[in-house]
Amino acid sequence: GDSVTQMEGPVTLSEEAFLTINCTYTATGYPSLFWYVQYPGEGLQLLLKATKADDKGSNKGFEATYRKETTSFHLEKGSVQVSDSAVYFCALGVRDDKIIFGKGTRLHILP
């Protein structure tokens, strides 16, 4: 069945470090791919998305490229900030507009 696997956290980095959070998926057809972020005490927010192969989603300095050949959608940011500390969820959108989430990766950025 459809599923998402993302790297387990927590991930701890120093401010201005480079960030990669790996995400791979299994799906039939051509799903949309998402990264959601959940800041402490808040609801999930859509961070970025890509709807077809080779699309690159980007927002707030974060990027992820839809790689069909490797079934991956890794999240990257060149220089993280303390304010990026949150839980990040990789997800795919399947039929009937349902979303399947990964387990989430907690990110801690140290000043």
Partner 1 sequence: GAVVSQHPSWVICKSGTSVKIECRSLDFQATTMFWYRQFPKQSLMLMATSNEGSKATYEQGVEKDKFLINHASLTLSTLTVTSAHPEDSSFYICSARTSGRRAQYFGPGTRLLVL
Binding interface with partner 1 (CB under 8 A):
4, 36, 41-46, 89, 93, 96-104
For every residue of the chain, which 3-state class applies, written as one string?
Answer: CCEEEECCCCEEEECCCCEEECEEEECCCCCEEEEEEECCCCCEEEEEEECCCCCEEEECCEEEECECCCCECCEEECCCCHHHCEEEEEEEECHHHCEEECCCEEEEEEC
CB of 42 to partner 1, least distance (A): 6
CB of 49 to partner 1, least distance (A): 9
CB closer to partner 1, 10 vs 78 = 10
CB closer to partner 1, 1 vs 15 = 1
